Structure 1
Amino acid sequence: MAAGASVRAGVAGVPYGHVVGSEKWRGSRLARGLQGPVRLILEEDLALVDFHLPHGTCILYVSEADVVAGNGFRRRLAQFRSASNLNGIVMVERTTTSDQYFPAMQNFVVLELGMTLLPVANQEEASQLIIQLVHEQSKDRTSNPFLRKQCSQLTHASILRTVQQIPGVGKTKALLLLQRFGSIHQLCNASVQELEQVVGQTVAQQIYAFFTQTN
């Protein structure tokens, strides 16, 4: 099956309160944590995706071992982004071992791929976040906008930390930038003149240079 088709497998018709997961998760702590609060259905050949949620949301899970091992996970995430327009959420295990690699991964996922990043301590925490997403989706069955709202609530601290990594940007400026531009995507595309209105000329040039070099 082609990568694009595999990415989309199982997405259509995932009922509310259900999660379709890859067979490779059978018996894992993450799968056990999902059973009960939601109905987990395991299927083979979900390819790049670990879990499908209602509303066409996908979870791609990156373990501590994946992060430490190198760039294999980057290829998988890039393939997903190029093969699909689905709502992809990347869950990554942020531990004492993987923490040193986290800033680079955060830049890659959020800034380069434009995907939502949720750091988790372990599979148990990941299962609770997935359950929260599914239950919130079930409360609003009429439209997708909820999803962006919920994800923004879950990832606000993570996105704020990402913006603070830009040279010259502290917490206050990061908050002002996100308030003005609304998302990292819009911030990436902002002109120097637009940035100057929020943070002044010097920092605006630093931000513009940062995104230009990243891209």
Structure 2
Amino acid sequence: MKIAVVGASGMAGSRVVAEALSRGHHVTAVIRRTPPASPHPAVDVVRGDVTDVGHMSTVFGGVEAVVGATRPAPGAEDTVAATVRALLDASAGKRVLVVGGAGPLRSPSGGLVIDDPAFVPPEWRSIASASTTQLQACEAHSGDWVYLSPPAMLEPGVRTGAYRRGTTTILTAADGSSRISAEDLAVAVVDELENPGRDRHFTVGY
């Protein structure tokens, strides 16, 4: 499969690139800064701003699926809706997987995760709110998209290849924690691209 990964230099995006390559896929890695030479023959590294719909449409022309793994800079959370709309516009006719946030998931205690301090402390509220807005923008778009909400804690770690898949309620472990490594999130992303599920919004976790 030919896959474009937008935000390919970030924590999630870089691991999606690595996971896709390990399975024999060809990757177009899209980054905003001047791209370095590709370190792998199956990777095309290109410079691109996702809000430049014309350019990104050209970049996506030869791919079968697109992964959006962008994250707004602190203070720029209000840009997420426009960014994901541009991504979906540029990806017209392609399957798009948006790596979003946990904010719009349901909490086990009722309500949304964004409103549950057990998962979203005050300092995380701005980015959690942005993910809720991001999902709403996807829901208003007619494109072929799927939205992946990670658990409350997503950090670099170990690739185990194992995870649980849920729908719109956050997944927690027996101790109440909600987490997954960025490496295993990437496993879930590529699994979804290879074998699409029926849910437009899903989550994963340990």
- TM-score scaled by structure 1? 0.42
Which of structures 1 and 2 has the bigger CA Rg? Answer: 1
- TM-score scaled by structure 2? 0.44
Q: Which has the higher contact order (CA 8 A, sep 6+)?
A: 2
Give the strand-richer structure, 1 or 2: 2
Give the helix-richer structure, 1 or 2: 1
